[in-house]
Each structure stands twice: as C-alpha cells, then as structure tokens.
Chain A
Amino acid sequence: MATAYNLTNLKNLLVQKEVKQWMKQDYITREQFHTIEREYPCSFYHPNMFIRILLFAATLLGSFGAIGLLILAMDTGSDDSIAGACVFGGVVSIVLLEIMISQGKHYKSGVTEALLYFGVGIIIGGLIVLANPTTAVTSYVFFFLFLFAAIRYIDLIATLGTVLSFAFIVFNSLYEMGGFAQQIIPFVMMIVFGLVYFITRRARQNDSAQPWCDALLIIESTSLLIVYCGGNYFVVRELSIEMMELALEEGQDIPFAWIFYALTVIIPMIYLYFGIVQKNIVLIRVSLIVIAFAVFTFKYYFSLGHPEITLTIAGVILVSISLALLNYLKIVRHGFTRENHLPEKWAGMNIEAVVISQTLGGNQINVQDAPVKGGDFGGGGSSDSF
C-alpha cells in the first residue's frame, strides 16, 4: 500500500525542513536557503505547530457536533443505530480526509490528524458495539486500522498504536493458550521484538522506505523498549502476579528470577555499548531510559527507605557524569561532540524555561511549606515534582 501523499512533495518538504535547520545553524546563508527552497518546491499545506493544534481542536470539535447531529437525525436511540451512525460517520470522515489530501493538499495540517483519529476512533467504537467481538478479534481490528493509518497517512501516533497493538496480540495469544505458553511470554516478546527491531533498522536503510523514516524510528525505539520490558524483573514479576494469579509467599521468588535480574542489568548495558560503538543515537537514548528503569526496579525491591538520600546521590551522580562527559567531549572523540548542531525545534518558545518553572517551581515554596517546629518534616513543594 502506498501513501496518500505525493512523493515529490514529500521529499521536497523533507529537504526544505532539513535545509532550514542548516540556515538556523548558520551553515548556509538565507539566500542559499531560498534558492534551495525554490529548487525543491512543495505545494503541501503544512502549517506550523500552533496553527496545527488550533485546526486539530476545531476539526475535532466540529466532527463531534456533526456526528451528534447524525445520531439525532436517525432518531431511534437504539445502541445499534448509534453504533451504525458512528461507523458511517467514521467512513465519511476518512473519505473527507482523502479529499483534503488530494484536493486541498493538506499534509499533517491538524485537520488531517483530527479527521483520521476521529474517523478511526468512532469506527472502532462502532464496530465493537455492533459486533461485540472477543478480545482477540478486537486487537486485530485495532492492529489493522492502525497499520492502515500508519502506512497510508504516515501518522506517527498510529504507528505507535500499531506496535503496541501488535505487542498486545502476541501477548494475548500466548496468554490465552495458557500453561507453558504463558511461561515463555517474556522470551517470545524479546525474540519477536528483537526481530522487529532488526527488520526495521534494515528497512530504514531502504530508499523506498524513506517517506516513513520517522515512523520506522518510532518502531525501532518502541521495539527496544518492549524487548527490555520483556526481560525486566519488575515487569515480569508484577505482570505474573497480576495476570497469571501467581501467588508468591514471603521469601519466594518468580520462576527463573535470576535470569530476569540479570537481564534487567545486562540489556541496558548492551544497548549503551552498541549505541556508543555504532554511534547510534536511538540506542543511546533508549539505553538511558532503561538504565533509569533498571535503577527503579532494584530500588523498588531493595529499598533502604530513604528516598531523599537516593535522590541526592542520584543527582550527584548524574551531575558528575554529565559534567565529566561535557569536559571529555570538548574535542570530538570517537565521532561524538558536545556542540549543538541542531537548532532547537521549538526555537523562540524556549521549552527549557517552561520545563524548569514547572518542575522546579515548587522549590521556593519549600520556604513557605517548611515544617512548623516540632512537627513532621515537610518539603512538600519539591515532592510535587514527582
């Protein structure tokens, strides 16, 4: 299946976005940028982020109004007729989306996303009410609708949905088999998503897969995370207790606990090692996330009960590591540099300031919340951040 978008336009849009970053970074001049822009014209309607948000919200609200009118017009009030109206409305919404793309040259304009999510959403909802399918069938419906949306409209959220529904399908089929199949779920998940990871990585090199390169990147990183979750002690233990009614007595542990303890530690190391060796930034970033998760896993089961000491020490370690690396990378080493080569995507908005005021904003409130003498300790402000 091909994408609904014109490939030349798609390519030229990618070129324009890339070259714009070079301009912002002062690698090329403004005149050069405009020349290149003329050389690679793009007729898409692809507004900036905030206009997209506005259009998205307006289209979604309008769509809800329209489906409301449709349901009222049918005027029967039975569940089936409402569900039927939803499926019909969803199909209309997808048809409208196609018209917007082919006639209006919309490309991820906010209108397109809204119509897509709205359409897919109410089709799924309607079908579930109409057919009342089993969990397995529902997950297949989710999977194929997401897959369709991901491929045809190059939608990243739908891509994420595809990966997650696929993971659910694998999990659920083994789970419903019961017995031995349930025992091997972690290993099957790791093998399957390991394969997905390598296939995706290979596919990303392929020229014909280039329009989907962002989507493939999402599959890649999500697969890595799922592989880790498959081996993580916390995930395996809690899911075993929750889903498979595994009853653990005091002092007992899950089957093959040592394997999962080991995997919890080893997988992040493997990710980080290959990330650095292969200069693969996806692997490095995922490894940082799963290292944090590994630390959390061990703290969860072997806590000394002093979260504030853990916080302080973790903070000291993180600050020291990053300062050491920043100093180490003063010059380019092994192809890594500390210099910024990409302009901030949200330039002008200054996301950093917002993040700081929202996460650390509680700190000065410490002053006010400081405990009254003789009372319990407070510091409530800062705990807000978690």
Chain B
Amino acid sequence: MDMIKKLPQELLDKVLLSKDQFERIDPLFSGKLVSVFYDLRVILYLGVLLLTSGLGILVYQNIGDIGHLLSIIFLIALTTVCYWFVMTRAVPYSNNIVKHPIPYYDYIVLLASLLLITVLGYAQFQYEILDDAMGITTLITAAIFFYTAYRFDHLGVLSLGITAFASFWSISISPMKWYSGDFIEASNLHVTGIFFSIGMASIAMFLDRKNIKQHFTFSILNINALIFFVSTLTGLFSEEWSIIYYLLVVGGCAFSYYVARYKRSFLFLLYAFLAAYVATTYLIFDVLRLDDIIFWFFYSVFSCGGFVYFIVKFKNHFKR
C-alpha cells in the first residue's frame, strides 16, 4: 500500500495543488529542506535558563572578593547589552500580535527582563533599599514583567508577571510547589486565590473586549482557571460552607465552558469537566457518607460510562 510518502506529487496529479504550491511544499515534505526552527529555539531557551539561574546564584556568592565583583560587573554589563539590543531594535507597540523580524528577539527580551530582576534582587539585598517591604519588590518585579510583556508582546514574560503578581498575594503557581503541598500554606489562602483569580479573569476579559492583546487572554485565563479550581476545591474539601464552594465550582465550570467555546480551546473544557466531576463526587460522598465500596464501584462504572457515552454521542458538539 502506498501511504502518503508521495503526497504532494499525488495531490499535484489530482490538480488539488498548484505547481507553485507543490514546489514550496515538496522540499519540506521530502526532507530536502530541513527546518531547525524549534531545535534552535529550545537550545536558546535552555541557554537563557542556565545562564540566568547560574548568575542568580553566582552574585550572592563569595561576597567581598574579586570574583564577586567580576560577576556583578558581568551581570550588569550583560543586562545593559540586552536592554540596549531590545530597545534599539524594538518595533512599535500594537494591540495585536507583533511578529518581530529577528527570530531570537523574544529570547533576548526574556533574558533582559530576567537579568534585570536579578540585578534588582541583588541591589535590594546589598543596599537594603526596600528592606522592610519585601512585598513591594515582588510587586515591582510583576510590574516590570507586565510592562515588558505588553510593550514587547511576550507571552512568556507575561506568564512570569502573573506568577510574580500571584506570589505577591502568597499564591505560588508552580507545580513543584503544588505537590509538595505548599500551595495552601496559610489557612485562608484559598479565599485569596478565589478573589485573585476572579479579579484577574475579569481584567483579562475586559482587555479582550477592548481588543487589547487578545492572544494574551488565553494564558491569563489558563493560569487563573487553575488557581480558581484548586482554591474552590480546597475550600470544598476543608470547610463547612461546602454548598457555597460547590456553587462556585459550578460557576467556574460554566465560565470555563464559555471560554472553551469562545476561544475554541478544549483545555478549558477539560478543566470544567474534571472540576465538576471531582466536586460532584465529593459532594455525594459528603452528603451520603457512604463507605460501601460496592456503591463506589457502581458509581465509577456508571458515571464514567455515562460520561464517555455522552461525549461520543455528541461528538459533533465537541469539534473545533
């Protein structure tokens, strides 16, 4: 059987492709032309990651000796060079996606803002500029990230900004923290989480309506959907007001479902179904207080079977 190895030729013969299109596609399809776009970007990204992590540790070491001085000079010089590069080659601001002509421009923006944060952190530590207001530094960090993200159209820096802003409210958005159980450190953090995520989501929707950087909406909503569901479910599991938290989960699911349709993203559908299932199951458990294992076996078979049936039955509804 001849599979698709000669697909462009086959389509050309069937007059489904024009000659021009064929000549563009065929070298790529047959491997005559190889794109190393993603490979180079991954290496570049790893480089930025290693470099900023290394420098971030280096500047706090050997305080007082020559190596320390050298690393500070190197850090500041590098930051300056990066900012100079970013500023001189910047393209004008736009509310839409900005595709910069230099393919690695994005990474220099990322590097520059990470280095600036390292410099700020070091200055704060060395000169105690904002000694008694640690939170302010985080807030400034977030502000710098947000400005950079919007000015230079950088999704990665935007997500760093959200992370920083959340950590100002002591919410940590890193999976590493989540499974070590640090997410809900303080007792009422999940309430903060709920307000934070609703606030951020509202801002995101507002900006989206104003046509400001609509391609950012997804990332902001994504992070905040996670915060919201983790917070409400934590509330549901730990508090007496379980019905209120349950209603919040349901509301969140409805909103997620709306976003899934609006942004044509099934990720939000995934969140909505998972959160609704976990919350409903917990509520049934909480109300019935059944510890009969047979019931739970039946429950899993019928709820999951029903769910699969539902999805497959209405498969056309769940298509892009």
Contacts and interface: CB of A to CB of B under 8 A. Distances in A.
A357 B121 CA distance: 18
Nearest to A29: B21
A340 interface: yes
B44 interface: yes
Contacts of A59: 304, 308
Contact of B44 (A281, A323, A332): A323
B51 A312 contact: yes
Interface stretch (A63-71, A129-137, A232-240): A63-71
B219 A350 contact: yes
Contacts of A348: 218, 263-265
A72 interface: yes
Nearest to A70: B297
- A57, A342, A348, A366: most-surrounded residue (chain B CB, <10 A): A366
Contacts of B50: 311-312, 314-315, 318
B219 to A, nearest CB: 5
Contacts of B117: 363-364, 366-367
The secondary-structure label for the interface of chain A is helix
Given A59-B304, A315-B54, A382-B53, A332 B33 contact: yes
Most buried by B among A318, A357, A379: A357
Nearest to B52: A363
Interface residues of B, number: 109
Nearest to B223: A357
Q: Which of A311, A367, A370 has the most CB of B within 10 A?
A: A367
Interface in B31-89: 31-41, 43-58, 60-61
Interface in A311-350: 311-323, 325-326, 329, 332, 335-342, 348-350
B94 to A, nearest CB: 18
Nearest to A376: B60
Interface stretch (A142-150, A175-183, A203-211): A203-211
Residue among A320, A363, A364 with max Cβ neighbours from chain B (10 Å): A364
Contacts of A336: 33-36
B186 interface: no
Contact of B118 (A72, A285, A363): A363
A242 interface: no
Contact of A51 (B33, B34, B269, B274): B269
Interface in A58-84: 58-59, 61-62, 64-66, 68-69, 72
B320 A48 contact: yes
Interface string A8-24: 00010011001100100
Nearest to B60: A377
A88 to B, nearest CB: 16
B53 A27 contact: no
Contact of B104 (A72, A322, A357, A368): A322
21 contacts: A39-B16, A49-B266, A50-B269, A51-B269, A61-B304, A69-B297, A315-B49, A315-B54, A318-B51, A325-B40, A336-B34, A338-B36, A340-B35, A341-B33, A358-B176, A360-B160, A364-B163, A364-B164, A368-B134, A368-B138, A377-B61
Q: Which 6 A-B pairs have the closest CB atoms?
A: A315-B51, A311-B54, A318-B47, A210-B3, A65-B300, A62-B304
Given A51-B269, A59-B304, A316-B51, 6 more contacts: A45-B315, A68-B300, A210-B4, A315-B50, A349-B265, A368-B167
Interface of A: 7, 11, 14-15, 18-19, 22, 27-28, 32, 35-36, 39, 45, 47-51, 53-55, 57-59, 61-62, 64-66, 68-69, 72, 104, 109, 111, 207-208, 210-211, 213, 279, 281, 284-285, 288, 307-323, 325-326, 329, 332, 335-342, 348-350, 352-368, 370-371, 373, 377-379, 381-386
